[in-house]
Structure 1
Amino acid sequence: MKPFKACTCRDPQTGKFLGKKCPNLRKRGHGKWYARYEAPRTPDGKRRQPRIGPFDTETECKQALVKVLGEAGKTGKEYDRKITLGEYLEKRHAWRTAAAETGDLKPSTLEADREAIDLYLKPGLGHLKMADQLGQDQIRDLYAAMRLINRDVADSEHTEMLRRLLAARAKRDGRRYSTRPLSEARIRRVHAVLTGALNDAVKVSKIIPSNPAEGVFRGKGASRRKGRLKPLLWTEERVEHWLKTGEVPGKVMVWTSTQCGAFLDFAEHDRLYALWHFGAYWGLRRGELVGLDKKDISLNRRRCHVRQAQRDDELDDVKSEESNRIIVFDEDTARVLTAWQQQQRKERLAWGEAYTDSGRFFTYEDGRALRPAYVSQRFDLLIERYNTFRSRFDEGWSAERIARRHRTPIDAVRIALEGPPLPPIRFHDLRHGAATMLLAAGVDLKVVSEILGHATMAFTGDVYAVVAENLAEDAAATIAAFVPRRKQA
């Protein structure tokens, strides 16, 4: 087990490696340091003496040998320094496949793992030895390359890792995988797969002493545990400050019921009004609305079974077991959704044979399933148009001129002019608004938690109670009427 020096010089006559017999090993800088240690015998009783190295100095070799012997002593098996990340990912995936067959893992989870392994982890890092070559720098390089996929970058930025990733995507299922850049959410999902595998390598397989993926996404102050981001209400004072400075006071903002009602009144003329209404009243996530199947909603019984969600281009199960839920909605919502179905029937007749029946409840005019990104873009556009009408009026435009210029019904223009300013929120914040208004309307916390699909009542109360208190005086008496609306003709 004593360290020894060897090199890769070859005998000029036989061509064999000289190793420890090289006459130049006494020269400074020639050769590297190695060591062997006694490992457990093979199942058939054969002796095993694995070699570790190379190392630049004898001291480094001794330190590594002590570490290896310590691991071997604790686990009772050889500390495998030769296994690559790709080999271990495949071994672990086989274990998880067996777990999926017994129902311990969802097929969608297994499929997501397979995609992360095939498209990113193996092409980028699969050749690296886990014990000696895989570290945070290599993992960060992978994510940096992933951020360049399908973006307009100079040839000089096409690293070897990026080229491997592009090659993997080009040949998946015989076609190019996608033409869109990767989102940060996708990169974090790949990171979750890698982190889980490396955690198993530490705790289960005992191959490495620590997980190099830990802390890769940490920024300044990340060592201090941050609490959940709690929604802030767009109060009159905050709206006034936003109008003057353009500053948004928080990352998660919620409309008041008056602001939400003004938006819904304005959006009544939009084709996706039913989706805006359903999201604002009952707090479904964007992916849940887009992924909602026709057969999972009953307008006569006023029931909606939320059991799947559309994330990016993939239909998947809902976020958690609690998110698989049944929502009992009000009669007004049932009328809105019935009108939506009638509109879809007219569109289907208009498109004829070109119509595509995707099976989804909310679709494009030709029946195709909506893209989640389109929903957010359309939502942002409506808010922008609402505020543009108000600014045009302040500039001296008449309501009729605004309607002609923007090809919008005059009623929609008048609603924007008569209503309050609409400060910016994300589409997901409609969900937060629904939660806070349900609580403010006096709905039991447990019921609200179940409607939203939260894991615990404590989470619901912790996140939304503060905003609900601000809304209490402005809330309506019942769920069906908690958003004030204009009077219908």
Structure 2
Amino acid sequence: MKGHIRERSPGRWAIILDSPDQETGKRRRKWHSFAGTKREAQKECARLITEMQGGDYVEPGKETLAKFLERWLDHMRSQVSPRSHERYTELARKNIAPLLGNVALTKLRPEQISAAYSKALVSGRRDGSGGLSPRTVHHMHRILRQALSQAVKWRILGRNPADAVGGPKVEKTKMRALDAHETAQLLAHFRPTRMFTPVLLGALCGLRRGEVTALRWRAVDFAAGQLAIVESTEQTHRGTRAKETKSGRSRRVALPSIVVDELRRQRVRQAEELLKLGVRLSDDDHVFAQADGMPVQPNSLTHEFTRILAQSSTLPRIRFHDLRHSHATQLLSSGIHPKIAQERLGHSSIGITLDLYSHVMPGMQEDAAAKVDAAMRAAIDRVAG
């Protein structure tokens, strides 16, 4: 197997590869176009020969990255949730394709991808108002890398060019956790509103937004003082759909007595509202619902929480999800074992809990060291005595 280069015009080269046909034994010639210096063309020729000898060679095709992404999106429709597929589609069509879509898939190079990311950070907004955030470009990189990995599996590419590119550094979003006093103030502010129950469930039970909007009365066990978290809701362009929890597993959450009391009051209020409409409340109804009993969309919950919170001049401006962080922080700060916190929050592993809330651990480490020290000193004194 051999190859050579031929100059077509200044800076333009033809790379000619000769290899025997496996069936007939006759010589087959493959042509590649290359732009660059003579030395670069020679390196590319050597690289292609190595690929052919190693069995990694892929015939050059004319399919562009944009067309391939559409095929990949069709493939991914059955692999991810509808909301995730919508996000993949948005990133692929609106962010990646305008920058790299016209490049032939088999000719896509790491330096082109890197340059596209740099451009996106500076002027990637579609309205021309500036660049995209590092987090958005990081998501672009993750999607492109996943798509090109599939191209390798389909043997369209010999290797994934995105593997040689790093996404931009993304700073972690700082979580704002309320302490017990701030939580009490927040509950007092929301008590006169319909949003009181979601805020209660988020701040005192650590429920996610989708878990709150999916919760039905049949999941509330007043006798045992527990909630059964078995599903969540997801909002897409086509509407709201029920889905499994984020971890893929159901869980039971023990309720503080204050939450049990407030849920009893909520059930009575909701039953009275529906009775005025001639409807009887059932265990299939949602705990947090509109006045006519219809479920609330997750995005509507977020918007209403933000609107009502803005009416306070003293409470910090937090996200609804920060109520969950507040609950976790208060649990760990109170000395609750991280494993219990993990089960209560519904994390798939204790590693996630420890990673998210490591900032709470230093005080717990000091407390543990002090307890070990006290126990050992007492034991040493007994032995010495």
TM-score when normalising by structure 1: 0.57
Q: Does 1:195 align with 2:145?
A: yes
Q: Does 1:129 align with 2:104?
A: yes
Go from structure 1 to structure 2 and tell me whether the alpha carbon gap of 1:426 and 1:117 turns closer, same or farther (over 3 Å shift).
Answer: closer
Partners of 2:245 and 2:264 lie apart in 1 by 25
Q: CA deviation at 1:275?
A: 0.6
Query: SS where residue 274 of structure 1 aligns?
Result: helix
Q: Which residue of 2 aligns with 1:320?
A: 247
Partners of 2:19 and 2:285 lie apart in 1 by 59
Query: SS where residue 46 of structure 2 aligns?
Result: helix
Instruction: Give matches, 1:217-228, under 5 Å.
Output: 217-218=168-169
Q: Which residue of 2 aligns with 1:332?
A: 258
Partners of 2:353 and 2:263 lie apart in 1 by 27
Select which of 253, 259, 262 maps to 2:182: 259
Q: CA deviation at 1:342?
A: 3.8
Q: Which residue of 2 aligns with 1:362?
A: 288
Q: Which residue of 2 aligns with 1:210?
A: 161
Partners of 1:309 and 1:189 lie apart in 2 by 23
Q: CA deviation at 1:280?
A: 0.5
Provide Cα deviations, 1:95-132, integer angstroms capped at 9, x if missing partner: 767xx6xxxx5555884587458744785444421243
Partners of 2:210 and 2:190 lie apart in 1 by 20
Partners of 2:56 and 2:307 lie apart in 1 by 63
Query: SS where residue 318 of structure 1 aligns?
Result: coil
Select which of 232, 251, 258 maps to 1:308: 232
Instruction: Give matches, 1:117-156, under 5 Å.
Output: 119-120=93-94, 124=98, 125-133=100-108, 135-136=112-113, 137-138=115-116, 147-148=125-126, 153=127
Q: Which residue of 2 aligns with 1:69?
A: 49
Go from structure 1 to structure 2 and tell me whether the alpha carbon gap of 1:40 and 1:259 turns closer, same or farther (over 3 Å shift).
Answer: farther
Partners of 2:44 and 2:203 lie apart in 1 by 60
Q: Does 1:454 align with 2:347?
A: yes
Q: Does 1:297 align with 2:190?
A: no
Instruction: Give matches, 1:56-455, under 5 Å.
Output: 57-78=37-58, 80=60, 82-86=62-66, 88-89=68-69, 105=79, 108=82, 111-112=85-86, 115=89, 119-120=93-94, 124=98, 125-133=100-108, 135-136=112-113, 137-138=115-116, 147-148=125-126, 153=127, 157=128, 191-201=141-151, 205=155, 206-208=157-159, 210-211=161-162, 214-218=165-169, 251-290=174-213, 292-294=214-216, 297-300=219-222, 302-310=226-234, 315=241, 316-321=243-248, 324-348=250-274, 360-387=286-313, 421-455=314-348
Query: SS where residue 425 of structure 1 aligns?
Result: coil
Partners of 2:133 and 2:72 lie apart in 1 by 26
Aligned length: 346
Go from structure 1 to structure 2 and tell me whether the alpha carbon gap of 1:373 and 1:303 turns closer, same or farther (over 3 Å shift).
Answer: closer
Provide Cα deviations, 1:125-182, integer angstroms capped at 9, x if missing partner: 444212434622345667888743xxxx4xxx59xxxxxxxxxxxxxxxxxxxxxxx9
Provide Cα deviations, 1:462-484, integer angstroms capped at 9, x if missing partner: 5436547879xxxxxxxxxxxxx
Provide Cα deviations, 1:303-362, integer angstroms capped at 9, x if missing partner: 22243243565545433336x433232443233234334434444466789xxxx96542
What is the percentage of aligned positions where both structures have the same residue? 23
Provide Cα deviations, 1:282-303, integer angstroms capped at 9, x if missing partner: 111223323x142762344532
Preserved CA contact (<8 Å) 2:61 2:104: yes
Partners of 1:40 and 1:451 lie apart in 2 by 64
Give unpaired runs (5+ residues) of structure 2: 365-385
Q: CA deviation at 1:51?
A: 1.3
Q: Does 1:35 align with 2:10?
A: no
Partners of 2:40 and 2:197 lie apart in 1 by 67
Preserved CA contact (<8 Å) 1:305 1:325: yes
TM-score when normalising by structure 2: 0.70
Go from structure 1 to structure 2 and tell me whether the alpha carbon gap of 1:466 and 1:126 turns closer, same or farther (over 3 Å shift).
Answer: closer
Q: CA RMSD in A?
A: 4.3
What is the one-letter code of the residue matched to 2:254? V
Preserved CA contact (<8 Å) 2:204 2:256: no
Select which of 3, 6, 11 maps to 2:5: 3
Partners of 1:117 and 1:440 lie apart in 2 by 39
Query: SS where residue 33 of structure 2 aligns?
Result: strand
